[in-house]
Every structure is written in C-alpha cells, then in structure tokens.
Amino acid sequence: MLETVRRAAINLNHWYVVAQSSELTDQPLGVVLWQQPIVLYRDRSHTIQALEDRCPHRQVRLSHGQVQGDQLECIYHGWQFNGAGDCVNVPYLSQKQQLPSCRLRTYPVREQDGFIWLFPGQADQANQVPLLGLPEWDQLNYIASYTTIDTQAHFSFLIENLMDMYHGRLHNDLQAWANPVLKDIETSPTRVDAHYDAESYYKIDKIYSVGQLFIPAMRQLRPTNLDVSYVYPHWRSVLGNDFKIYCLFCPVSETQTKAYLVHFVSLGAFHRLHKLPIRFRRFIKNRLFNAARGLLAGLVKQDILMMEDEQRAFETMPQRKGPEFNQTISKVQQLIHQQSIH
C-alpha cells in the first residue's frame, strides 16, 4: 500500500487553502491546486471569484491579465469574463458577430480567518463539507505567525512529518517539545488524532516569558500534553495551554506540495488582559503578528530537506520500504489511501 500512498491523489471534495488573503490585491492571482491552474480576483465589492486560469481563445493564462470592474480581462486580446465564467466582452467584435458561448469552470471559494479556501471538487457538495477554519485568527487572546511551505515532495511526506513526534533531534533549539510518549490514537474516516504525554520548553505565564520565543536560555522543560490531528486534508496540533499550530494544505501535484504553517501563542494566562481596552489589545495583537515567523521558517527549512530526500529515494526505488514503528504513521497512510479512492 505504501507505493499507492506515495502516488495517491487528493480527495477533491474538501476545502483547501490556496492563498493568504493579503496575497490577493487588486490584481489577479494564479494558483495551482492538484494540477488545476486557477485564477483568483476580487470584483468591485471585494468578493473573491475563482475561475480556471485559461482564456478559451488562445489558452493563455488569465492571471496575466487585469481586473476591469467585475470582470477579468485577458492580457492578450482583451476578452473579458465575469465571475460566472461567461465571456461578456470581446472589444473588437463587430455588430454582426455574437459573443462566444464558451464558459470557464468556476470554483466555490471562501475568504475566512485570513486565508482563501477553495473547493476543487463537485461544487454542489461544497456546502455539505465543513471548512476547518482558524478560530484563533481574530481572537484577541492569540498572537499569530505563519510561514509558507513549498516542497518538491508528495503531500503524504509532509503530513507524515507533521504527525511524527519522534524527529525532534532534527530541529535542535527550534523544537518546542521533547520526550513524547504516545498515550492513544483515535481514528475515523476523516481524521487521525494522536495524544502524547510530552515536555514543553515554553510556558507563557508572565509578560517577560514571551522572550522564550527568542532567547533559548530562558527555556526549561515542563510536563505537558501534546495532541496532533490529521483532519483531512489539514493538520492541527495543541501543545499544552500556550500553543496551537495548523498546517493548511494546497497539494500542487504528485511531486509538489504547498502549505501554510500557522502558529498561535495564547495570552490566556494573563487573566487581567481582558480588562484592557479592545483597541489596545488589538494593537498588541497586530504589533506582535508574525513574531515567530523566523522560528517557523527554520523548522520548515530543516523538514523540507528530509522530505525531498524521501521523495528522491522513492522515485529511485519505489518498492523499497523501511520498517515503521510509529503507529500514528500507519494510521495516516491508511487515511490517505481511503480518501484517495473516494
């Protein structure tokens, strides 16, 4: 089954994250989700529209073009398309000629919690499938940081890396936890949850304790819980009461995976914080936004090196399989396989 997992397609009938909201400005943005080129743009009401990134005239990418009111204009010959995918204007069309009847594919898309979520499967199922979401993104008691992952490897390598709590030695001073001991695993057709007893290097309980994020000498190990979840197709982790981490997936192809790693630090231990003015709390949240980006980028760089080694090894000898002692990884592989055949 392992070779099948390494070539598994994604289940298209789920919500995937294709961009952060701030990446989509007044110009169209081209993205790729599982070999599907897609163009995003904001209309006059700032609502996001998502179309296949292809002008039906000469097959060039519409993401090279520009937004004209509510329409997306192809840079090559000026053909314009609306959010429903219809061609609504050809600038050089004569009075005797009719607009072409071609229609571009459109995609359900939502802007929520700082990111753009897209449903690449059957559009009529979109409202029936829950969107994971990041409830901490706008909460005043959480400080957010994020970085982008872009690895030349199948998405299975990334989710296995995230669910594997036994590779902390790779990260040295960047690792937030140590000494994990697996307590139990829960599985369902859509998720795998692994629960650990572990130790955390961080405890955010005083104002100056935030400095632990930047000064290794301030860190010391303390017992805590560590819970990691593969909520297909994304990942979520909770470390004690202070940290939550998400990884939002956008698999590009069988050998490339893009994702967003989002880290939240809780300020919930500061019980008097809620008494401060909302404006001041919002200022603190915004001022500290992305404070841990450097730490996250360091972790990602080290993990990408390992995942791309794994991908190259698989391509060289796909039938080779090493022994696996981590029960969580086996459950993750089963879930990937099950979802890929739906």
| CA–CA distances in Å: residue 136 to residues 18, 50, 129 | 19, 26, 21
- Decide: 235 and 159 in contact? Cβ < 8 Å: yes
pLDDT of 330 higher than 60 = yes
pLDDT of 222 reads: 79
Average pLDDT over residues 8-22: 97
The long-range contacts involving 85-90, CB below 8 angstroms and separated by at least 24 positions, are 85/51, 85/52, 87/56
Of 163, 180, 183, 166, the residue nearest 331 (C-alpha): 163
pLDDT of 275 higher than 90 = no
Q: Where are any strands of DSSP class E within the chain?
A: 16-20, 29-33, 36-42, 48-52, 66-68, 71-73, 80-81, 87-89, 109-112, 115-118, 142-151, 177-188, 191-200, 222-231, 234-239, 243-253, 256-266
CA dihedral 164, 319, 13, 244 (to 10 degrees): 10
pLDDT of 220 higher than 90 = no
pLDDT of 208 reads: 52
pLDDT of 272 higher than 80 = no
- Written as six digits, the tokens of 116 are 């753009």
- Written as six digits, the tokens of 129 are 């499938």
pLDDT of 43 reads: 95
Average pLDDT over residues 70-86: 96
Q: Which residue has the higher pLDDT, 70 or 200?
A: 70
pLDDT of 93 reads: 87
pLDDT of 200 reads: 78
**One-character DSSP codes across 283-318:** HHHHHTTTTTHHHHHHHHHHHHHHHHHHHHHHHH-T
The amino acid sitting at 325 is F
Q: Where are any strands of DSSP class E within 21-141?
A: 29-33, 36-42, 48-52, 66-68, 71-73, 80-81, 87-89, 109-112, 115-118
Average pLDDT over residues 196-201: 83
pLDDT of 265 higher than 90 = no
What digits encode the pLDDT tens for the residues 157-193?
Answer: 999 999 998 887 777 766 777 788 999 999 999 999 9
Question: Residue 227's pLDDT band (boundaries 50, 70, 90)?
Answer: very high
Longest dimension (CA), the chain: 78
User: Strand 142-151 to strand 29-33: parallel, antiparallel, or no bridges (unpaired)?
Assistant: unpaired
What digits encode the pLDDT tens for the residues 308-318?
Answer: 999 999 999 99
pLDDT of 207 reads: 54
Rounded to whole angstroms, the Cα distance separating 88 from 77 reads 13
pLDDT of 42 reads: 97
H or E, element range at 255: none
- Decide: 192 and 255 in contact? Cβ < 8 Å: no
What digits encode the pLDDT tens for the residues 144-161?
Answer: 999 999 999 999 999 999
Rounded CA Rg of the chain: 22
| pTM: predicted TM-score of the whole model, two decimal places | 0.92
Ramachandran class of 334: left when φ > 0, alpha when ψ lies in -120 to 50, beta otherwise: alpha
Rounded to whole angstroms, the Cα distance separating 73 from 81 reads 7
pLDDT of 219 higher than 70 = no
Rounded to whole angstroms, the Cα distance separating 187 from 339 reads 13
Lowest mean pLDDT among 77-81, 127-131, 140-144, 266-270: 266-270
